[in-house]
């Protein structure tokens, strides 16, 4: 058992043709899937993934009714490979041992590595949801439920908490007051620290269309430019490679530090945040206190088809009306989910009234046109 970013690291640092991960990622165990990395440690392009998928289904059809192949031998030295990854992570930070941390492993892959990583770093850690049974991954725990670790931080009197998703490519945090610290706040914290140390090329950060306007405002006040990419870590990474940015990520806690890794790595993110907090001498809450979050709502509308939204006049009229009314004091993002038959309507506004009014109007227009 190893995390998704652990496989990405090994694929690019050892003589492997590819890295393959079988995991439910941030989903329930029933949604087990496959992630593939090339020998460079980057996720494969969509076109190559489609070729592989087509061949897999063709072979499955051909092999129907045949006796399944028995399992092959385990990879020689596989435990050593995992240790190499753990030791690499631990060697990246100089120390944050004085912090008391609650760690939620989401009953996933982090259970195999997080205890050893934090031990090597000399941290005082208490672990929860670190007993995976194959079916309890992400089950009311981890980065999908950060309020759980937030409660534990307060109950145990810890300095902060961190929670991973099932394959540990995401990390979210909680401060000592029980507040959840999402990916936007993490990017602000790390961006200012990297800039201060001269390690933020072009003073640029890449976020997504879903990142709050408050992050953009806070970064701008620190002299940092924020670029926006479509939702999805691969789109963030594409923009980072194009712009030369060293830091990018999503609200979900999928943070990419491109000078160190080729994909989001929850353990790496956790170590960087903990080191930054320890170095500052301040609490996590103090370090992100100036992030003023614009009111934001997201409405999901189940649709029967993903018809291009710009071809549905009532939807376009509702979006245009919202943008006119907000007039630069908010944002409208309407898009389809990449994995579900849903349209997502996200509105940010400087008032709760405008936010609710326009999100409801747009969602209703979608529902009437193509809703289920």
| Catalytic (active-site) positions | 25
β 180-181/171-175 pair status: antiparallel
Closest CA to 273 of 180, 187, 150: 187
Helix, strand, or coil here: 59?
A: helix
* Category of 138 on φ-ψ map: left (φ > 0), alpha (ψ -120 to 50) or beta: left
8 A C-beta contact, residue 250 and residue 231: yes
Going from the C-alpha of 294 to that of each of 89, 102, 180, 214, 217, the distances in angstroms are 35, 29, 16, 6, 10
Pairing of strands 160-164, 100-104: parallel
Rounded to an integer, what distance in angstroms lies between the CA atom of residue 60 and that of residue 336?
Answer: 31
């Amino acid at each position: 058992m190893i995390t998704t970013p652990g496989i990405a690291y090994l694929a690019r640092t050892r003589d492997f043709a590819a890295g393959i991960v079988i995991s439910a990622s941030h989903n329930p165990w029933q949604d087990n899937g496959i992630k593939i990395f090339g020998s460079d440690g980057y996720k494969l392009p969509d076109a190559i993934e489609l070729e592989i998928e087509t061949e897999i289904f063709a072979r499955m059809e051909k092999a129907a009714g045949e006796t399944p192949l028995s399992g092959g031998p385990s990879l020689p030295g596989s435990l050593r490979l995992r240790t190499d990854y753990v030791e690499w992570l631990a060697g990246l930070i100089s120390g944050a041992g004085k912090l008391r941390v609650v760690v939620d492993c989401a009953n996933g892959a982090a259970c195999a590595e997080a205890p050893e990583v934090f031990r090597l770093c000399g941290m005082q850690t208490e672990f929860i949801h670190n007993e995976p049974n194959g079916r309890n991954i992400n089950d009311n725990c981890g980065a999908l439920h950060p309020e759980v670790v937030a409660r534990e931080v307060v109950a145990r009197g810890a300095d902060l908490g961190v929670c991973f998703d099932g394959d540990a490519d995401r990390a979210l945090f909680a401060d000592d007051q029980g507040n959840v610290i999402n990916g936007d706040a993490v990017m602000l914290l790390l961006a200012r620290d990297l800039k201060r140390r001269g390690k933020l090329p072009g003073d640029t950060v890449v976020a997504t269309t879903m990142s709050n306007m408050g992050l953009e405002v806070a970064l701008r006040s620190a002299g940092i430019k924020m670029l926006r990419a479509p939702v999805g870590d691969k789109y963030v990474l594409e923009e980072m490679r194009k712009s030369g940015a060293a830091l990018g990520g999503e609200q979900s806690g999928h943070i990419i530090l491109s000078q160190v890794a080729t994909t989001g790595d929850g353990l790496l993110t956790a170590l960087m945040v903990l080191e930054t907090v320890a170095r500052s001498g301040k609490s996590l809450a103090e370090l992100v206190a100036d992030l003023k979050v614009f009111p934001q709502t997201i409405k999901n509308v189940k649709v029967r088809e993903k018809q291009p939204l710009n071809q549905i006049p009532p939807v376009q009229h509702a979006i245009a009306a919202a943008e006119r009314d907000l007039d630069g004091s908010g944002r409208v993002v309407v898009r389809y989910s990449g994995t579900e038959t849903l349209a997502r309507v996200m509105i940010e506004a400087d008032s709760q009234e405008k936010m609710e009014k326009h999100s409801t109007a747009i969602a209703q227009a979608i529902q009437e046109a193509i809703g289920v």
